[in-house]
Amino acid sequence: MFGLRRRQARSLPRRLGRLIEGLTRPVHAGPEPRRSNPDAVVDCAVYQEGARRPGQSHFTHAARHAQRQKDAFVWLGLHEPDEPTMAAIARAFGLHELTAEQAAAGGHRPGAEIIGEVTRLVLRTARYVEHEELTDTSEVVDTGDVTVLIGPWFVITVRHGAAGALRPVREELEQRPALLAEGPWAVAYAVSSRMVDLYLDVAGHVEHDLEALEEVAFSAGKRPDIAHIYQLKREMVEFKRAVLPLQEPLQRLLDRDVVPQGLYPYLVDVRGRLGRAVDRVAGFDDLLNSILQARLAQVSVDQNNDMRKIASWAAIAAVQTAIAGIYGMNFESMPELGWKYGYAGVLLLMAGAAVILYRRLKKVGWL
């Protein structure tokens, strides 16, 4: 009996320890929550055989899944990511660190280059900015850029700026499974086609602005300031830098046979529409130069007219000044000094000379 009580006393501290451990142990409400994508990630999806797999997973999970599955690829859409985010994406997708750094920075010129198995395509985005009237600070065309990184089993789109949202591109492409089944290059084609369509849309709005400016510039009423024309010309220079340089890299991609044969006709169509956009932008530049030169000529003519009017009135005033100066010398032997109506006669002479000179200058078009 005594031994039993002694064993129970020895086991009491162990029981108290297990009880305290159970009370202090953290309670798990459920499984560990999945990681969420960074804020820069607009959308991340895995596509297989032309269809999107349901759900949106973290880009690291999507990358692992696409590598394991046949005929699958990841489309990761980003908007203005920071360098740490791009560094993490580079590790998940096996990108070169310089490629990730360049994609994180905006303001690139259109171009295309192949680095290993990854093709880097840069396009400029464009958006027409609505405005009531043209001023010397009006923003007519807003531009940005989008970088498309095409790999064997992934495509990453990195967009900078407000223009060129790619959500409509994704929605339209998901409605075309046969085209989407071509793989990552189908996304590159869809993005390129979208950018060229934006160029043509902006060109249509700018054409209306130029027609209105041309009509006002050659009207008889109030004409536009030269500063307004220069502002529109600066906007056209920015637009031209977005459109014209894309021709060479797009042609280079077609010549190097990196595009799948099924998508080759589609990119040839993009090249043709880009050529029409280039021709329209070049025509805008020529038209703006013509309007500017005409406006400068009008300003020069207006200045000459003003100078002729000033010279005409100065000549009229000079006659009066000459007569008044002569009679102001107070010589004794002056015509009509002793005449009763001499003062009135001189005033009549001055008025007559002014009228005759005014009519003469009016007839020759100086007044």
- pLDDT tens digits, 75-132: 999 999 989 999 999 999 999 889 899 988 888 899 999 888 899 999 999 999 887 7
pTM of the model: 0.73
Considering the domain boundaries, does residue 291 fall inside one? yes
Same domain, 196 and 293: yes
Burial of 148 (0-12, 13-18, 19+ CB in 10 A): buried
DSSP letter for 42, please.
E
Same domain, 252 and 307: no
Considering the domain boundaries, does residue 140 fall inside one? yes
Same domain, 237 and 293: yes
Same domain, 72 and 91: yes
Same domain, 106 and 251: yes
What is the distance of C-alpha 42 from the center of its chain?
20
Give the count of domains, the chain: 2
Distance CA 189, CA 260 (A): 11
158 Cβ neighbours under 8 A, 6+ residues apart: 78, 79, 81, 86, 103, 104, 146, 147, 148, 149
Q: Using the 3D structure, point to which of 299, 324, 348 is the last residue of a domain.
A: 299
- Its domain, for residue 56, covers 41-299
Same domain, 186 and 283: yes
The encoded tokens of residue 68 equal 């394991």
> Which residue stretches of 50-96 are H helix?
59-68, 83-93
Same domain, 195 and 57: yes
Does residue 220 carry a pLDDT above 80? no
Strands 141-150 and 154-160 come out as antiparallel
Same domain, 230 and 215: yes
297-334 pLDDT tens trace: 766 766 777 787 787 788 778 877 877 777 766 666 66
149-201 pLDDT tens trace: 999 999 999 999 888 889 999 999 999 999 999 999 999 999 999 999 999 99
The encoded tokens of residue 310 equal 């000033």
CATH code for position 344? 1.20.58
pLDDT of residue 301: 67
Same domain, 140 and 223: yes
Q: What confidence category does residue 23 fall into, taking pLDDT thresholds of 50, 70 and 90?
A: very low
Considering the domain boundaries, does residue 17 fall inside one? no
Considering the domain boundaries, does residue 306 fall inside one? yes
Considering the domain boundaries, does residue 26 fall inside one? no
Q: Which amino acid is at 192?
A: S
CATH code for position 45? 3.30.460.20
Same domain, 275 and 348: no
Q: Using the 3D structure, point to which of 281, 299, 317 is the last residue of a domain.
A: 299
Same domain, 188 and 313: no
Same domain, 350 and 225: no
Q: Where is 124: in which H helix or E strand?
A: strand 118-128
Q: What confidence category does residue 37 fall into, taking pLDDT thresholds of 50, 70 and 90?
A: low
Q: Using the 3D structure, point to which of 268, 299, 330 is the last residue of a domain.
A: 299
